Amino acid sequence: MSQQHTHPHAHAPLPAPSREGSVVLEIGGTLGALIIHTDPADDGLEIEVSPTGDDTTRTHAAVRPRHLADRTTHCAVISPLPEGDYTLWRTAETPDTVLSIRGGHVTEHHWSQE
């Protein structure tokens, strides 16, 4: 689940970790999704993206453990995203990289520690 807004905010407590098969992506047509893989130490971190060139309209999702059949992985899932280029933010003020989202596809990115 991702949330979009342009103001400072507080959030309700995070839900329990996702189980195998419990994440639904809304993709198709001009909508895509972004999965950002992280280290377990990033659990709970909110990662933001914005359309490139519009730094004030941001969407974010929290890093959560995802329990798979053979392992647990940590990632943030942002869906849906209209196709286009997005800035991934390292912090609220520091951009990290630009990612391209294609409609009907899932873009995956590995968040590196600095």
What is the pLDDT at residue 24? Answer: 85
Distance separating alpha carbons of residues 36 and 50, to the nearest angstrom: 14
Residue ranges covered by each domain of the chain: 16-108
Query: 76-104 pLDDT, tens per residue?
Result: 999 999 999 999 999 999 999 999 999 99
What is the pLDDT at residue 5? Answer: 52
> Exposure pattern of 19-43 as b/e (b: 16+ CB <10 Å)?
eeeeeeeebeeebbbbbbbbeeebe
Q: Residue 29, SS3?
A: coil
Whether the Cβ atoms of residue 72 and residue 55 lie closer than 8 Å to each other: no
- Within the chain, which residues score under 50 in pLDDT? 1
Q: Please tell me the pTM assigned to this model.
A: 0.82
What is the pLDDT at residue 22? Answer: 72
Q: What phi, psi does 5 have (nearest 5°)?
A: -175, 175
| CATH code reported for the domain at 16-108 | 2.60.40
What is the pLDDT at residue 1? Answer: 46
47 exposure class (CB count in 10 Å sphere: 0-12, 13-18, 19+): buried
